[in-house]
Amino acid sequence: MRGGGSVSRARVARRIAAGAAYGGGGIGLVGVAAVGLLLAEVQLAKRSVGGGIAPLPPRGDGLYGLAFGREDPLSLGVLGDSTAAGQGVRRAGQTPAALLASGLAAVAERPVDVCNVALAGARSDDLERQVTQLLSDTSRMPDICVIMIGANDVTHRMPPTESVRHLAGAVRRLRTAGAEVVVGTCPDLGTIEPVYQPLRWLARRASRQLAAAQTIVAVEQGARTVSLGDLLGPEFAENPREMFSMDNYHPSAEGYATAAMAMLPTLCAALGLWPETDRLDADRDEDMLPVAKAAATAAKEAGTEVTGARAPWALLKHRRRRRIPAESPASAAHGAAEEPSSSRATRR
């Protein structure tokens, strides 16, 4: 499973990461013409399957876990693109930010205050602005941040070295501010329907290469990563009509819940809340590997966590997923009500 192919993928990911560190920009994921054709196919898929348009993301900011009071809340910052913003669902409680906040509150037995600065359509070069916005309120510095980004970088032909350079800078600023950081790496664009072969293969290859490079630079800056891959689980391949929203591109409520269940254990571990240790479990195929090899392996195994160990090694973990608890009406977030359409439209 981790033979020559993984070594080759690790080498490409390391080259991209090194290019970002030293200012290189000539390493491409796939040919420019192929990526242009892929983008056209993605746009066709978003228009043609089901004929629907995903609703603008609702605002999920606010306080979650009110059953535990309002005092001494954990602060969760969310950054990234439409996936981080929650485009594709209609209720704030269905967004990744709300789902993760509810899960954190249940585990920590503390309320969780959410600030979501993610923007639909964003690429990695928007992260600097998002980090500045998140850190501008010095009275509410984040304890932990989640970054989900990368798909638009691939479809809009951003050089991968530039993409991961922006991500590394964002992680570095957040870590310097004292926040733990978890990066959900580039999702697998090969799951989009109807993107057909050979473009499906090209989309998967480009996505995985970027995801592996993102993992390397994020771990080197002190973050943990979780591979989103095919958006975290065979459920997407087996039940695409349930796991994608009406535009067949963004996740549905069920899809976001699946992703949040996979990411929650890593957030809890980063905050020291999770009851299990970082001891490797051979039964779950966990290992300590050179960071580039761990990154390449994680990119093709959705839901895999990579966290730094002793340089240049990293831990490859498959944490047990936990179901996100549903909040009762009495403990719902005070900021989770739907916004008027005009208010939400300004966030695109």
Nearest-angstrom CA–CA distance, 155 and 324: 31
H or E stretch covering 114 = strand 112-116
Query: Which positions are catalytic?
Result: 82, 247, 250
DSSP E strand stretches across 160-312:
180-184, 224-226, 287-290, 305-308
For the beta carbon of residue 2, count every other beta carbon within 10 angstroms. Answer: 16
Considering all CA atoms of the chain, what is the largest pairwise distance in Å, rounded to the nearest integer? Answer: 55
Answer whether the bond into residue 73 is a cis peptide, omega within 30°.
Answer: no
Of 264, 313, 305, 308, the closest CA to residue 281 belongs to 305
Amino acid identity at 319: R
| CB burial string 151-176: b at 16+ within 10 A, e below | bbbbbeebbbbbbbbbbbbbbbbbbe
Contact present, 154 and 117 (Cβ < 8 Å) = no
Residues in the chain: 348
Of 263, 273, 279, 269, the closest CA to residue 323 belongs to 263
For the beta carbon of residue 120, count every other beta carbon within 10 angstroms. Answer: 21
Contact present, 15 and 27 (Cβ < 8 Å) = yes
Nearest-angstrom CA–CA distance, 345 and 348: 6
| DSSP three-state, residue 122 | coil
| DSSP three-state, residue 245 | coil
Q: Please count the CA atoms within 13 angstroms of the CA of 261 that sit on its side-chain side.
A: 17
Nearest-angstrom CA–CA distance, 257 and 89: 11
Place of tokens 């269940």: 261
